[in-house]
Structures are given as C-alpha cells and as structure tokens.
Structure 1
Amino acid sequence: MTNSAVYLDHAATTDLNPAALSAMTEQFAHTGNPSSLHGAGRRANRVIDEARTKIAGVAAAHPTEVIFTSGGTESDNLALKGLFWNRTEKNPEARSILVAGIEHHAVLDTVAWLETHENATLLWMPVDADGVLDLQAAEELIEANHERIALGTLMWANNEVGTIEPISAFVALAAKYQIPVHSDAVQAFGTVPTDFAASGLATMAISAHKVGGPVGIGGLLVRRDIVLMPVQHGGGHERKLRSGTLNAASAAGFAAAATAVQANLDAESKRLSELRDYAVQRIAQSIPEAVLNGPRDALNEGKRLPGNLHFTFPECEGDSLLFLLDMFGIASSTGSACTAGVPQPSHVLVAMGRDARSARSVQRFTLGHTSMREDVDKLLEALPEAYQRAKKAGMAADESSIHTAGTGFTR
C-alpha cells in the first residue's frame, strides 16, 4: 500500500496486484538464465515463453510480437528510433515524423533527439480542445508529405487528460502510403481494450507497473512483418531487437497482472467510470470555477480513460494544490514539470489550445483497482479548502518567486 491515506495517482503507478506478487515470489525461489541450455535455464525460458503468450493474449497479438523491455520509455525509444533508422536506411529522403504535441515526453524527447542528431523533420499534427487528433489535418499532412514521411506516432490514450485517440483511423490514413505507425499505449493497456492485431499498428508500447505488475519491465509489440534497427546490441535476445538477460520473475509478474486486469476489464471500467463521474459532478458543485479537461464521456463510450479526472483550478499553482492535498493525506499529480525552480505549463493543455498561465493551474486525479468511494469522498472533503489556500497563495511565477518541486510520471 501507499504512504498516503488516499492514493489518487494510479496513472503514475498502481498497487502491485496480488496475483503478480504471488507469481514473482514463486520465481524468486528459482535460479536460471533463460538463455542457458541446462535444465535451470530451460525452466526459466519456459516462464518467459508462458508470460509472453499470456501478455500477447491480453493485447490480441502473436507471442512472437511481444518484445520485453524495461518499460514504456525504452519501448518508445526502440520503436521510434528503430523505425526511423530502418526507413531512412532504405530511403534517405524519408526523414519526417508525424507527431502530436500531446505525447508523453518519452515520445516527444525521442523525436526531438532524432531531429537534433539524425536530421529528422517533425510534422506536428493538431488536436482539438479535448485533445483528440484532428484527422483531417493529419490527412492533409500525409497527402502533402507522404514521400518523405518515415513514420507516424500517436498515443492510444493521453496520460494527463485521459483522452482516447482514434488509433485505427489514423493508422488507416498512414497505411495508404505504407507509413508505419507507433503508439504509446502505456496508459491504455489493461484499462481499455487494446487490440494490436486489429489496430494495424507497426509497434505499440506497454508497461507492467501501470496494470499492477512490477516496476522495471514493459513490452514493445512489434508486428511480425516490421523490421526495426536495434538500439542496443549484445546477445541478440528478443528477435535481435533488444539484447539483455531476461527477467523471468518480472515477466511472470507482468503476465499475471495483465491476465488479472483483462479478466475484469469491463466490470472495472464501469466501476471506475461511475466513480469518476461522481467525482466530476461533486467537484462541479463545490468548486464551480473548476474546469474538466478532456472529453466528458458521461456514458462511458470510450472517449476517456475510465479512471481519469483532470481539472484546471483557476488562479492557483498546480504544485501548490498538490502539496496542500498531500498535507491532507491525498496523493495526486499535476502533469507539469518544473525547470530551474519555475513552474511550467502542461504541454498537453498548451497543445489543446489553453493559455500557458491556466495550463499551470491543473491537477490530475487517477483511480485504480484499489480506489473506493470513500477515497473519492475524502478528496471531495479536502479539495475545497486546499484549493482556497492554494488560490490565496497565488501564481508563483507571476511574482518571479522560487517555486520548487514538480512531479514527473514514472514510466
């Protein structure tokens, strides 16, 4: 369990699922390198194979398409760099990458690195006020630049505001010109249906600790006909795409957690969306000026992650509100990062058309498998006072005062 009395930051990481803990504990009692040929090695390799098969089943992929990594960040790096290098090796003119400003920094920083060091050109796709990709604008970019586009990338669901993106529609636009598409599905996997085979994606990033598995292991789903340039080299593990000794215990934990969430996906989605909507209604009543960011999705039609609430609380620093809520025993997050002690706006909200000032006044509450009605009630009880105190403190950057801290998202 967490140290906070009420934990509402499940999008950052969630509690370890009991099934995952049990599976890992069993494997910790055994020794064996999955690449070794003796009995202990073969036993460990069977654990890896079984885990790969289970995760593939949850993701609607073939087991050979599951490449184990250390988590979402590595998966995004391997997919984006690997696709880019493979494509430019075949066609040096294809150096453009389709990307939207709402992406997680694991994607944004990777494509920025490719722009700086590999002469990539970034083609920015706009989103609407809810953070949904503008498909018409994306199509126009593709039509005008298809001969020089190496790849496209679009997250399945946004980590800040919870918006679910039109993955299949975007992939279909890119497929007209055989442009491969990657998706960061770290927030979506295990929360909403993510059918890799049906999506048409070339690659898809997932992570264990978002679904109740251990920190330090994730996966990259790589379609069988897709070739990536490896980012790291060594023993040629994982289809020669990701060298390194595999962690059988963590793989078993990942598979157990993914299987558990898949078995309860529909019921849990309904439960969390009802809790979310209850919180949205009550916050609107107690703090009328609060603004919900992202799609409302009151009927749980798949427009927003079921456990995501993201609000703008005008005229207060998000970090101030975070620390005040923490004093009340409630763990939340801002979605902003601090640079040199100065509050920075949420890049996601800026991409959605918000002004930089209001994009600093945000708070994200995310529900998970341990969240209950009483957790939401405790938030609702503490939030009005915390907001008034944060609002009274004002906007630190307006006064050029030092405002330390910042919250990042564990990948």
Structure 2
Amino acid sequence: MTYEPELPANSSPADAASSTHKPLHHKPVAKAIHPLNQAANAKWVPINKSFITLTRIILKSALERFGLVNLAITLRCVTQQGYRHLILVNDDRDIQIAAVGRVEEFIISTEMPMTPPAERLSAAEAVTFPVDFQGQRLGYLVALVRNPRVDPGDEIQDHPSASDIKYRLNRVAEEMVGVIKRYQTRYRAIYVYGDQCYWIGNSAALRQLDQRIDTLASSALPILIRGNKGAGKIIAARALHCERHTEIVPFIESGCHEWEEDAATSILQALFAYAKGGTLFLRSVDKLSGENLRVLQAFCTQRTLEKTTKGHAESVDIIFSLSRRDAELPASLQRWLSINTVDLYLPDLRERQEDIRDLTRFFIRECALGKEFDLTESAWQQLEAFPWTDNVEGLKRLIVQLSARAEHPLVDRPLLEGLMVSLD
C-alpha cells in the first residue's frame, strides 16, 4: 500500500507556509502502511516440520558440545483442527485461547523415543531449565548428563557441576528463543505485511545475525543496516522492529531514492506522523541529494532531542539502510553516520552456504506451481559454489526459470549450468 505524504494536522503555520513555496511530492514514497489490528499479533507459532527439524538441530548440537546423554525440550502448545501451535501469550491475559483448542505439552528430543535406556533414567541426574519468552514460561529443557558410573565407556575428563550445566542450558534456551522470535517475525510477514520476507535457514552466519539483532534492539541510536541487494535488509529491519515491539505498532518504510528535491521536510513530517509509536525504516539513505540529506540530519537531531522528553508512544525508532554494504559515501555523510548510528552488517548468500539447500527447497515449493523436483548432488554442489551476486533474489530467479524448464523429477548439473550463465 502506498500514499502521498501530506502535512500532519498538528504541523505548525511555518511548516504550512514553507510547503506553499515548494513543490508537493507526487510520487509514492512510503510502503508497508498497515492497519493496527491487535488480533493479528502472533500469539502462537506453528510447531510444524521445519520448526521441529530446526529445534532438533539445536538440541543435537548442544548434545555434542556439552557431553550430554539426552536433551529434550517440553513446550506448552494448543492443538486446533489437528495443527499444533506454541502458545506465546499468557492464559491469564488471553483466556479465550483455552477455547480454541486443547492445551498440552509437546516434547522434542534428541532421542526417539525420548525416554533413554531405563538404567540411565535417574531423577537425581536429570537437570531441568526453564525456557521463557517475553516474561512467559513456554516450557523446560530437560538434560541427562553423562555419568562415568553409568557410561563406563565414555572418556570424561571433567564431570560438569550443576552450575556449569545450567549455564550451558541457558545458552540452548537462548538459541530456542531466537528460533521462536524468527517464527514470530515470519508470522507477521505473512499475516500482517502480506509477503514472504523472512529468514530461511540455520547457518552460523544467520544465527550470529539473530544474536546481533537482539543486542542492537536496545540501542538508543538509530541502526544503520549495511547489506547488498537481496541480502534481506527489509527482513533485518522488521526483525529489529519485532524485537523492540511485542505488540503490533506502525512499521513504515520509505525509499530515499524516490524522494524529490526540496520535498524532504513534508515527506519526513508525514512519515513521522504515520510511524508514531513504532518504527520508520529509511532505505538507501546514501541516495539522498545533498539538500534532502541536510534536512534529514536536522530532522533526526530534533527528533532525538524530543525522544528524551516524550513518552515512547510519541517517539519513533529510526532504522537506515545503504544501497550496498560497502557503498562509497561522501565524507560528511560517513562522519555523520559514524557518530549517530550503529552498524548492522548483513551476510551475503555466499557467507550462508549452509542455507542454500533450505532456500532452494522453499523456492521450489513456492515457484514450481505444483511441480515437484529435486537436484542431483552434483547440481547441489554447483549451487553452493556459485558467487550469487544478487544473493537470495538471484537464487529465486534461477529457481523460477528452472521450474519452467525442468522436465524430470531430478535436475542434473548441465541444465542448471545453462541457466546460471545468465546470472553471472
């Protein structure tokens, strides 16, 4: 949805007078203006195949790192019409949730079935750790620790203390909360923003990015997202927004390259009026003209001062992005950004090689129009070795072309190579 900015009702006479001497902006410069429907908030996330798979990856990784016999997580869920969802709200605040389905506990474990051998099942050796999300108890991690008396064949140099185990389980719980936040952002992308902009994969680079976003969410300074085309700047901005705001509040985005000369004042007034209490995401700030940039800098300085005196409901969180991760910036802009923002670097797809298969399979489901096919191992290796100049956008274009040309359920390397030539 787009709009043409107007002066807000509470603008000053001076602002109105200045606008009569400057051309009104007639291009749509803002996107993602959505009705604030609190009922659309992500009150639960689906415990589907991908969620279970990702959870098992995290649990198995912790099992190997920390020398555990078994690690499981119990999650409070609601089952409705045969589908299981993780509850993200407190029943006391939203008691209607009990009416939509049966509340139960669901267990995901590193062992199938969860119960380990009977001789290892000892309440004295099991350690539990709570998993909390936004002040609510979602469930518990349950760990069985290796014991030299029970596992005589295992070489254990140091038997971890209870405090060591709880520290390690806390790290696992933080990873699980990161997964839940990602699924909550996915829910908003689909049901609030109406698109498919969300992270897919579980590479080390993506997990580190999640942690960086968690850290930056508490920053008092605006965030500057540095990423190349197709790296997911809009996803990162929404993730920051979701981390800061658990409820549905305005998220407004605008491309600075679309702003007309001498229109920055009226544009910014309208954008801030719409984004009040939420987030304003200004894309490609390096594409602003010199005059519009000076207006933006003065406007941000004024709003920063106001933020210290007004409540959060009246303030606006600002997020910037550059058109490219290492865009060449004028010295004055570089200096201003270094003082007034905090950087968030996004990895390119070649730095997320572990995610390529997940992304490819996702695009096959989305773009193949019901056609199912897979790739030979040689073709998969070709995909993973490609530099991907346009990142995820380039991969999606390739899968769209491949879907139209694939005649067999197994795509081989020659067909793939022929289509990849156009991506170089």
TM-score, normalised with respect to structure 2: 0.25
Pick 1 or 2: higher relative contact order, CA cutoff 8 A, min separation 6: 1
TM-score, normalised with respect to structure 1: 0.26
Q: Say which one has the larger Rg.
A: 2
